[in-house]
Chains A and B, each alone.
Chain A
Amino acid sequence: MYQFSGRLKTFSIALILLGAIGLAFSFYSGSKTTLEDAKHAIEAANHGTHGGHEAATAPHQEEASHHESEEKTDKEAHAAMIEAYSNSEAHETTDGHGSSHDDAHAEHVLHQLQNRPWSAFYVALFFFLGMTLLVLTFYAIQRVAQVGWSVVILRVMEAITANLLPVSILMIIVLAASVMHVNHLFPWMAEGIFDPESDNYDAIIDGKSWWMNSTGFMLRSIAYLIIWNAYRYVIRKGSIKEDTANDGNKTYKKNYNLSVVFLFLFMITESMMSWDWIMGLDPHWFSTLFGWYVLATLLVSALTVIAFVTIYLREKNVLPGINDSHIHDLAKFMFGFSVFWTYLWFAQFMLIWYADIPEETTYFVARFTEYKLPFIGMVVMNFVFPVLLLINSDFKSKPWFVFIGGTVILLGHYIDVFVMVMPSTVGAQWSFGIPEISALFFFIGLFIYTTFSAFAKANPIAKGNPFLKESEHFHYYNIEHTSEDGSGDHH
C-alpha cells in the first residue's frame, strides 16, 4: 500500500494556502479597481503600445473592419466586432470619440480589469476540471475497450479523478457568481442584452436566447457536473469491489456497462460544456468543431498528467508490475494526441482564414493582435516541441524525456486555455502575474492532495481485473526494459 508522505502532504497544503492567499489578494485588489484605473490603463495603452498595435492590426483591418474606428481595433477588437455586427447603427453615433463613448469605453475596460482575478481563476479551474474529466474519460475508454496494457495504472487514473469533486464544486460557485453578476465573464449575461428597449440590446444573442439564458445555463452546468461525478463515484466503488469480488467477472461486466453509458453521455456533455463554458465567452462567435478542439487540449493534458503521476509513483516503488513499456505507451499517446490537437487547431483556423467572414475572423483577430506571443508560442510548445522530442521511439520510455516533453505540453495547453478565455474576458488588460500564478498554485496543490490521498486509500493494483496478467507482461517489442529481466518473456 502507498502512504501519502507527510512531506508531500505539507507541500500540497502549502501550495493551496499560498495560492489562496494570492487569490484573495488579487480578488481584493481587483474589486478595488475604479473607473480612474481604467482610464489610466487606456491612456497607458494609447501612449505605450499604440504604434506596435497599429502595425499588428493593419492587415486585419483591411479584411474586417470597415465599420470600426481605428482606436477600437486597437483596444478591444473582439468587443468591437460583437457590437459592430449587431448594432452598427447605434454605434456610428457614439463612434466620434464623444464623451459618451469614452465613458462607455472606460467602463468596459473597468470590467476587464475587474475580470482579471476571476479569469485567472477560471482558466486554471477549467484546465484542471477538464484535465481531470478527461482522465476519467480515458479511464472509461480503458474499461470499454477492455484494454490489457493499462491495467497496472488503472488505479493511478482513478486516484487522479478524485480531484473531480472539489473542482466541480468550485466550478458551480464561479458559474453561479457569473449568473448573479458578481463578475462579467460572460458578456451575454449583461443587463439588457435580451431587452429590445435597452441600449445593450443584442439581436444576435437574443436570437440564441433559447440556449443562452441563465436558467438553462445553470441547469445544464449542474447536470454535466452531476453526471461526471456520479460516474466517478460509482465506478470507483465498483473498481474497488472488483478486487475482492471473485464472482466470475460479474462486477467487471457491470463496470463495463457503466462505462459505456458514461462515454455516451460524456461525448454529449463535453461538447455542450465547451459551448457553454468557453464558446459562450464570445457569444457571437461559433465554431462547429470547438467541442473537439477543447477535447483535444484536455485529452493531451490528461495523458501527460497520467504519465507524470505514474513516473512519480514508479520512482517511489509503489507501483508493482509497471515497466518501461507502459511509460512508452503513455508517451506515444502524448505524442499522438499532440498531433491530433494541432490537426484540430489548424482545421479550425484554416477554414476561418480561408472563408474570411468577419463574424468568424473576430476570434482570431483578437488573438493575433493582443495575444500574439502566447497564441503563436503555444503552437510551438504543443506541436513542434513534442514532435521533435518524442518522435524517437527510445526517448519515449525515458522518464526524463517524458518529463521535459510533458512539462512543455502542460504549459502549452494551459496557455491554450488561457488564450481561449482571456481575450474575451479581459481583452487587452491581460498579463501573467500574481492572480494567474496563485490560481495555478492553488489547483496544483489541490490536485496533489486529492490524487495522492485517494491513491493511498486503495490497493495500488487493480488485482481483480481479468487482464492484470496481460498488463504485467506487457512488452513493446522495440524497446529494452531497464529494470527487470525480460528474458523468456516474449508475449
Chain B
Amino acid sequence: MESSKVIHAFYTDDEILLDAVKAVKAEHHHIEEVFCPFPVHGLDKAMGLAPTKLAITAFMYGITGLAVAIWMTNYMMIQDWPQDIGGKPSFSWVENMPAFVPIMFELTVFFAAHLMVITFYMRSRIWPFKEAENPDPRTTDDHFLMEIPVHNNEEELTSLLSKTGAVEINVVDKH
C-alpha cells in the first residue's frame, strides 16, 4: 500500500498553520493529523472534524452519578441501617432528601468528571506508558506539523505546501 507514505509539513506559527490547513482543504486533500504544541482555536473546524460528543457523554455520566447517589443514600441511610437524620426519625428517603442533596451533587460531579476524562483518554488512544505518537519532538516545543497521506501525488502536495509557508517538508514512510 503506497498510502503508508506521508508528508510532514512544518510550520512555526499558528496563524500560518491555520491558513495552510484551509488551503490544503480547499484542494480537497485529506489531512491525517496536525500536531501542535498548544491548542489552536478553530483548527478542528478548518480540518473538517466533527464536533465532539464528549459533552453528551458527560451528561450521561452525570445522570448515572445522580442515580448512584440516590440508590446509595437510600440503601445506606434508610434501608440497611436506618438513621435518625437531624432529629427527624422519619426513615423515609424523600423526607430526608435535603440531607442527601450534597451527596447527590458531589457524585454527579465525580462521575461526570472522572468518566469523562477516562472517555477522553480512550477516545484519544492514550493510556499510561503509551509511546508518544508525535513524529517529531519539535511539535512539543515551537513547531506545528501537518501530516498528509500521499496517493501518488507527492509532487503536487509538495509544491502546494511550500506555497503555504511551510518551513520544512519531508516525505516519510509510516510504519
On whether A355 and B86 interact (CB within 8 A), knowing A346-B101, A350-B98, the answer reads yes
Answer whether residue B148 sits at the interface, using C-beta atoms and an 8 A cutoff: no
CA distance A349 to B86 in the complex (A): 13
- In the complex the two chains form, is B88's CB within 8 Å of A350's CB? no
Interface residues of B in 118-157 (CB under 8 A from A): none
On whether A353 and B86 interact (CB within 8 A), knowing A346-B101, A490-B18, the answer reads yes
Interface residues of A in 430-484 (CB under 8 A from B): 477
Which A residue's beta carbon lies closest to that of B88? A356
Contact pattern, A 340-383, Cβ under 8 Å of B = 1, otherwise 0 = 00000010011001111000000000000000000000000000
- In the complex the two chains form, is B42's CB within 8 Å of A477's CB? yes
Q: Which residues of A contact B28 (CB under 8 A)?
A: none
Which B residue's beta carbon lies closest to that of A391? B59
- In the complex the two chains form, is A354's CB within 8 Å of B99's CB? yes
Find A354's partner among B41, B55, B86 (CB 8 Å cutoff): B86
Contact pattern, A 381-398, Cβ under 8 Å of B = 1, otherwise 0 = 000000000000100000
CA distance A393 to B18 in the complex (A): 25
Find A490's partner among B42, B87, B98 (CB 8 Å cutoff): B42
Main secondary structure of the interface of B (DSSP, over half): helix
CB distance from B18 to the nearest CB of A (A): 6
CA distance A282 to B88 in the complex (A): 26
Which B residue's beta carbon lies closest to that of A490? B42
Q: Which residues of A contact B88 (CB under 8 A)?
A: 356
CA distance A110 to B99 in the complex (A): 40
- In the complex the two chains form, is A356's CB within 8 Å of B86's CB? yes
CA distance A349 to B97 in the complex (A): 12
CA distance A490 to B46 in the complex (A): 10
On whether A356 and B87 interact (CB within 8 A), knowing A350-B99, A350-B101, the answer reads yes
Total number of A residues with any Cβ neighbor in B under 8 Å = 11
CB distance from B29 to the nearest CB of A (A): 20
CB distance from A295 to the nearest CB of B (A): 21
Q: How large is the interface on B (under 10, 10 to 19, 20 to 34, 35 or more residues)?
A: 10 to 19
Q: Which residues of A contact B87 (CB under 8 A)?
A: 356
Q: Which residues of B contact A350 (CB under 8 A)?
A: 98-99, 101-102
CA distance A368 to B88 in the complex (A): 18
Which B residue's beta carbon lies closest to that of A478? B51
Which A residue's beta carbon lies closest to that of B87? A356
CB distance from A306 to the nearest CB of B (A): 26
Number of A-B contacts (CB under 8 A): 24
- In the complex the two chains form, is B42's CB within 8 Å of A349's CB? no
Which B residue's beta carbon lies closest to that of A351? B98
Contact pattern, B 81-106, Cβ under 8 Å of A = 1, otherwise 0 = 00000111000000000110110000
Contact pattern, B 13-46, Cβ under 8 Å of A = 1, otherwise 0 = 0010010000000000000000000000110000
CB distance from B89 to the nearest CB of A (A): 12
CB distance from B23 to the nearest CB of A (A): 13
Which B residue's beta carbon lies closest to that of A354? B86
- In the complex the two chains form, is A349's CB within 8 Å of B98's CB? yes
CB distance from A397 to the nearest CB of B (A): 15
Contact pattern, B 56-98, Cβ under 8 Å of A = 1, otherwise 0 = 0000000000000000000000000000001110000000001
- In the complex the two chains form, is A490's CB within 8 Å of B99's CB? no
Q: Which residues of B contact A491 (CB under 8 A)?
A: 41
CA distance A103 to B99 in the complex (A): 43
CA distance A354 to B95 in the complex (A): 12
Q: Which residues of A contact B101 (CB under 8 A)?
A: 346, 350
CA distance A353 to B99 in the complex (A): 9
Which A residue's beta carbon lies closest to that of B41? A477
CA distance A393 to B58 in the complex (A): 14
- In the complex the two chains form, is A353's CB within 8 Å of B18's CB? no
CA distance A350 to B98 in the complex (A): 6
CB distance from B93 to the nearest CB of A (A): 15
CB distance from A426 to the nearest CB of B (A): 28
Interface residues of A in 388-436 (CB under 8 A from B): 393
CA distance A355 to B87 in the complex (A): 8
CB distance from A328 to the nearest CB of B (A): 15
CB distance from B39 to the nearest CB of A (A): 10
Which B residue's beta carbon lies closest to that of A480? B45
CA distance A442 to B101 in the complex (A): 40
Q: Which residues of A contact B15 (CB under 8 A)?
A: 490
CB distance from A191 to the nearest CB of B (A): 39
Interface residues of A in 157-186 (CB under 8 A from B): none
CB distance from B97 to the nearest CB of A (A): 10
- In the complex the two chains form, is A353's CB within 8 Å of B41's CB? no
CB distance from B86 to the nearest CB of A (A): 4
CB distance from A121 to the nearest CB of B (A): 34
CA distance A490 to B21 in the complex (A): 13
CB distance from B79 to the nearest CB of A (A): 21
Interface core residue of A349, A354, A393 (most chain B CB under 10 Å)? A354
CA distance A350 to B18 in the complex (A): 52
CA distance A346 to B99 in the complex (A): 11
CA distance A353 to B97 in the complex (A): 11
Q: Which residues of B contact A354 (CB under 8 A)?
A: 86, 98-99
Q: Which residues of B contact A353 (CB under 8 A)?
A: 86, 98
Q: Which residues of A contact B99 (CB under 8 A)?
A: 350, 354
Which B residue's beta carbon lies closest to that of A343? B105
CA distance A355 to B41 in the complex (A): 50
Which B residue's beta carbon lies closest to that of A353? B98
Q: Which residues of A contact B98 (CB under 8 A)?
A: 346, 349-350, 353-354
Interface residues of A in 309-349 (CB under 8 A from B): 346, 349
Which B residue's beta carbon lies closest to that of A59? B95
CA distance A356 to B96 in the complex (A): 13
15 intermolecular pairs with C-beta atoms under 8 Å apart: A346-B101, A349-B98, A350-B101, A350-B102, A353-B86, A353-B98, A354-B99, A355-B86, A356-B86, A356-B87, A393-B55, A490-B15, A490-B41, A490-B42, A491-B41
Q: Which residues does B use to contact A, with CB under 8 Å?
A: 15, 18, 41-42, 55, 86-88, 98-99, 101-102
Closest 4 A-B residue pairs measured CB to CB?
A: A490-B42, A354-B86, A350-B98, A353-B98
Q: Known pairs A346-B101, A354-B99. 7 more at Cβ < 8 A?
A: A350-B98, A353-B86, A353-B98, A356-B87, A393-B55, A490-B18, A490-B41
